[in-house]
């Protein structure tokens, strides 16, 4: 419990600082490269602060010349940092549309090209998935 009380404020601080820098980068970099690099840097710091080690297998099977739709079973708060650190490509996230309503977070998600997914109905979810497929076809990483 004591370690959590020390680690959580550090994570919130680094998230706030790098999130602000990334939000500013959104204005200048429509490709998302800067934001993705900042997210990878943030994720490395978070994993180091949490004193975790991760073993990833199968990365050699990814053909970096092809677009993919990666689907992850979001089981913990560390899933996102692990994905950012270990997936060797720039990518976009399908995020719950409600997250796009929050100030700063929603602006960043929108400006950095993340895709809102509406989970209210199967039809709405399919429309969101179709937007993701169209983004892939358009060459969005």
What are the Cα distances from residue 66, in Å, to 16, 61, 86, 133? 33, 12, 18, 13
pLDDT for residue 2: 61
**Dihedral, CA atoms, 80, 84, 86, 90, nearest 10 degrees?**
140
Q: How far is CA 130 from the centre of its chain?
A: 19
pLDDT for residue 128: 86
Confidence of residue 101 (pLDDT cuts 50, 70, 90): very high
> Tens of pLDDT along 39-73?
999 999 999 999 888 898 998 998 888 877 787 87
Tokens of 137: 């076809």
Mean of the per-residue pLDDT values of the chain: 88
Residue 118 contacts by C-beta under 8 Å, 6 or more apart in sequence? 97, 124, 125, 127, 128
């Amino acid at each position: 419990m004591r370690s959590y009380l020390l680690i959580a404020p550090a994570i919130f601080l680094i998230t706030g600082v790098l999130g602000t820098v990334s939000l500013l980068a959104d204005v200048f970099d429509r490709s998302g490269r800067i934001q993705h690099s900042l997210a990878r840097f943030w994720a490395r710091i978070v994993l180091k602060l949490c004193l975790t080690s991760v073993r990833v297998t199968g990365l050699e099977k990814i053909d970096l010349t092809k677009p993919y739709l990666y689907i992850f079973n979001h089981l913990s708060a560390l899933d996102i940092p692990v994905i950012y650190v270990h997936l060797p490509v720039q990518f976009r996230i399908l995020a719950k549309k409600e997250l796009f309503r929050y100030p700063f977070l929603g602006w960043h998600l929108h400006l950095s090209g993340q895709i809102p997914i509406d989970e209210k109905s199967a039809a709405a979810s399919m429309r969101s998935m179709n937007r993701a497929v169209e983004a892939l076809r358009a060459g969005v990483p």
